[in-house]
Amino acid sequence: MIESSISRKVAMALSGLFLIFFLAQHFTINFTSVFSEDLFNKLSHFMGTNPLVQFILQPILILGVIFHFVMGFILEIKNRRSRKVNYSYQSGISSSWISRNMLFSGVVILSFLGLHFYDFWVPEIKYKYIEFLPDDSQRYYEELIHKFHSPIRVAFYSISFVFLSLHLMHGFASSFQSVGVNNKYSNTIKTIAIAFSVIVPLGFIFIAIFHHLKG
Amino acid sequence: MNLKLKIWRQKNSNSSGEMVDYNISNVSPDMSFLEMMDVLNNELISKDQDPISFDHDCREGICGMCSMYINGRPHGPDDLVTTCQLHMRKFKDGDTIVIEPFRADAFPVIKDLVVDRTAFDRIQQAGGFVSVNTSGNTQDANTIPIQKGNADKAFDAATCIGCGACVATCKNASAMLFVSAKVSQFSLLPQDKVEAKDRVLNMVKQMDEEGFGNCTNTGACEVECPKGISLENIARMNREYLKASIKD
């Protein structure tokens, strides 16, 4: 079934919606760091130690991320092969720049994820499963503050989230079209998708700048 | 009007083509685009040069034969019209007009601006029809009650003329709008139900085999379609395809 063009786009849509759900959850936890160090530590400790999250949800998430990116590249290659001779002149007015450049925004997000894994995920795995350091439920907030100390890192995070916002602006509502939802609720879905695409990335940028200035 | 034309010239499907410049003068704003091309061809013939090949037939926006990618848009700068319905008043004196064939690997260039769109015919042959028993006991279609809303949507889908503008404008050269219109015009009607599963599976399979790209929902096809075929049809085909795949 995954062989057909429609099943591939449905797979892209479902994996994208799964990642959007994860993003909302991640944002909710991160945002607590703005107003409650204790709550942020508690939630992070739960996510970092709960076996269901650690050994089932985390691998599913990583597989989801890998699947979405690999499928995205496969689709891009197939699509480029379908028009080997291009036009010499294109007006480009019939579709948005964002919708035509999902691969570009996706690659920026992928490079951000590389840095994000290096910053948070790798030290976390090292702490817990390589060095077997003692469990410390109060360390998460300090680690967050430490990472946002560098203005270059904060700038890169912020730029990446601008591209995430662009990616979501097309991808979120587009996922519903791909799974066959185009009805009287579509305008509401589009409004929610745009609101999410602006608020969540902007919120992540706010968190990074907030801790940078505070720290 | 005096115009400068940059037109794709290609001897045949095996040769490599190039853009060639032509100047044309005394173009009436009331001419259709194809009439302007006819005038240019008359000039070329009178100079003993090879006229420019381009597709055309009914010249009233019904047959879907005319194509051409004009100034970066299929069927040119006007909305909801085919190239034959485009008038020269849409351009200004002194304009440069770039004219190219529809580009897609599934639509190979035959000569100049003529492309082979028989891939669409093969998709239709894969399931774009309702089998009717013509033994003499054929049921009158008007005896089957159909909801007005569904009948209207089926009719809207059936207005697709299969010109290929959707493929031409899509950055992925996807044929989803065309195929979804052909699936939708049946799937909304009760006559469809018996063959619904095979229809959508076979037509999508043929579409993929022809080498069209994947739809990424840019919406360019809907904007450029001369008949205003809606993206709603693509969502409907996706639903039909998923239903059929589960049943299969």
Q: Enumerate the domain spans of chain A.
A: 5-81+99-214
Share of chain B above pLDDT 70, in %: 100
What is the rounded distance in angstroms from the CA atom of residue A43 to the CA atom of residue A48? Answer: 9
For residue B248, is pLDDT > 80? Answer: no
Contact A170 B71 (CB under 8 A): no
pLDDT for res A112: 94
How many Cβ pairs closer than 8 A exist between chain A and B?
Answer: 125
DSSP state string for A129-177: IIS-PPP-TTHHHHHHHHHTT-HHHHHHHHHHHHHHHHHHHHHHHHHHH
Q: Which of A84, A86, A99 sits opposite B218 (nearest CB)?
A: A99
pLDDT for res A3: 86
Residue B69: list chain A partners with CB under 8 A.
87
Contact A170 B217 (CB under 8 A): yes
Question: Could you tell me the CA-to-CA distances from A203 to A37, A188, A189, B42 in Å, in that order?
Answer: 17, 22, 20, 64
What 3-state DSSP class applies to B18?
strand
Residue A168: list chain B partners with CB under 8 A.
none
Going residue by residue through chain A (215 aa), what tens digit of pLDDT does each one get? 578 999 999 999 999 999 999 999 999 999 999 999 999 999 999 999 999 999 999 999 999 999 999 999 999 999 999 999 999 999 888 999 999 999 999 999 999 999 998 988 888 889 988 988 888 888 899 999 999 999 999 999 999 999 999 999 999 999 999 999 999 999 999 999 999 999 999 999 999 999 999 87
Q: Is B156 left (phi over 0), alpha (psi -120 to 50) or beta?
A: alpha
pLDDT for res B138: 78
Confirm or reject contact between A170 and chain B (CB < 8 A).
yes
DSSP state string for A39-51: HHHHHHHHHHH-H
What is the average pLDDT value for chain B, to the nearest integer? 96
| Contact call for residues A205 and A161 (beta carbons, < 8 A) | yes
Q: Which of A1, A6, A85 sits opposite B238 (nearest CB)?
A: A6
Disruptive mutation site among A86, A91, A94, A189 for chain B (greatest number of B CBs within 10 Å): A94
Which two tokens mark A3?
A: 């062989």
For residue B192, is pLDDT > 90? Answer: no
The alpha carbon of residue B59 is apart from the nearest alpha carbon of chain A, in Å, by 25
The alpha carbon of residue A95 is apart from the nearest alpha carbon of chain B, in Å, by 5
| AA letter at B142 | N
Surface-to-core class of residue B57, CB atoms within 10 Å of its CB (0-12 exposed, 13-18 middle, 19+ buried): exposed
User: What are the structural domains of chain B?
Assistant: 3-111 (3.10.20.30), 117-135+143-247 (1.10.1060.10)
pLDDT for res B132: 80
pLDDT tens readout for residues B19-45: 999 999 999 999 999 999 999 999 999
Q: What is the mean pLDDT of residues B141-154?
A: 92
Which residues fall within 8 angstroms of residue A97, CB to CB, at 6 or more apart? none
Residue B208: list chain A partners with CB under 8 A.
3-5
Residue A93: list chain B partners with CB under 8 A.
72-73
Surface-to-core class of residue A76, CB atoms within 10 Å of its CB (0-12 exposed, 13-18 middle, 19+ buried): middle
pLDDT tens readout for residues B164-179: 999 999 999 999 999 9
Least confident of B37-41, B47-51, B130-134: B130-134
Neighbouring CB atoms inside 10 A of A156's CB total 16
Contact B220 A95 (CB under 8 A): yes
Q: Which of residues 89-108 of A touch B (CB under 8 A)?
A: 89-96, 99-100, 102
pLDDT for res B191: 87
Contact B103 A94 (CB under 8 A): no
Residue for token pair 């990116």: A69
Question: Could you tell me the CA-to-CA distances from B153 to A152, B64, B68, B141 in Å, in that order?
Answer: 54, 20, 28, 17
The alpha carbon of residue B111 is apart from the nearest alpha carbon of chain A, in Å, by 15
pLDDT tens readout for residues B81-122: 999 999 999 999 999 999 999 999 999 999 999 999 999 999
Residue B169: list chain A partners with CB under 8 A.
94
The alpha carbon of residue A158 is apart from the nearest alpha carbon of chain B, in Å, by 26
Contact B205 A4 (CB under 8 A): yes
Question: Could you tell me the CA-to-CA distances from A1 to A60, A71, B181 in Å, in that order?
Answer: 21, 14, 22
What is the rounded distance in angstroms from the CA atom of residue B7 to the CA atom of residue B192? Answer: 44
- ipTM > 0.90 (yes/no): yes
Residue B20: list chain A partners with CB under 8 A.
none
